[in-house]
Amino acid sequence: MISSEKNFAWYKSLISKNMSYMEAVHSLKKRYSAVGKPYFYKENFENVVKGDDVKLRKRRKNSKKGLYIHHILEKEFSNLSSKSGIKNNKIVFESKKEELFSNQVEYFVTQIPDNLVFCDVLEHMILHAKSSYEFNGQGKEGYLALRGKCKKMVSNCTRRSC
Ligand SMILES: [Zn+2]
């Protein structure tokens, strides 16, 4: 198979209804290397959650060229990469944590490498679409933002004729 056909088959399998959100996450974990470190620095994250007036600092060294990092637990809690999202989700986390994990689990679990996955822009959009479909609209905001990003990429590409 030539590579564009391979790519098409890959995206098609990812989109398929036979593949659940978590199965898609696992396929992406197999496709790319594991994310090495938590998304944010723990102390900084906890200070933001506490309400300190500090800037939320993302760990830049985690990034891989051209790839995004998706928060897998966005199927439960929205916008885990934004300051307002993190602050708003703290209460929801406390109410759901026993059912989802155990009472000992800290909110920072949403940011640890096990709960992160690399993906390209299309894969990221597909993950958010699946999450929204399977989990009651959870992740829909991300889906709409990524859809807009994809649209922009297409129009830029057409203008530059790439
Ligand atoms: Zn995401």
pLDDT band at 3 (very low <50, low <70, confident <90, very high): confident
User: Which pLDDT belongs to residue 29?
Assistant: 96
Residues with CB under 5 A from ligand 1 (ion): 70, 142
- Residues shown for the chain: 162
Name the token pair of 116: 């992160």
User: Which pLDDT belongs to residue 1?
Assistant: 59
CA of 72 to the centre of ligand 1 (A): 7
Each residue's pLDDT tens digit, 25-69: 999 999 998 999 999 999 999 999 999 999 999 887 777 788 999
CA of 158 to the centre of ligand 1 (A): 26
- Helix/strand/coil for 89: helix
Say if residue 158's pLDDT is above 80: no
CA of 5 to the centre of ligand 1 (A): 26
CA gap 32, 116 in Å, rounded: 11
User: Which pLDDT belongs to residue 67?
Assistant: 93
Rounded (to 5) percent helix, strand, coil in the chain:
60, 5, 30
Give the strand pairing for 68-71 and 116-119.
antiparallel
Where exactly are the structural domains of the chain? 35-66+82-113
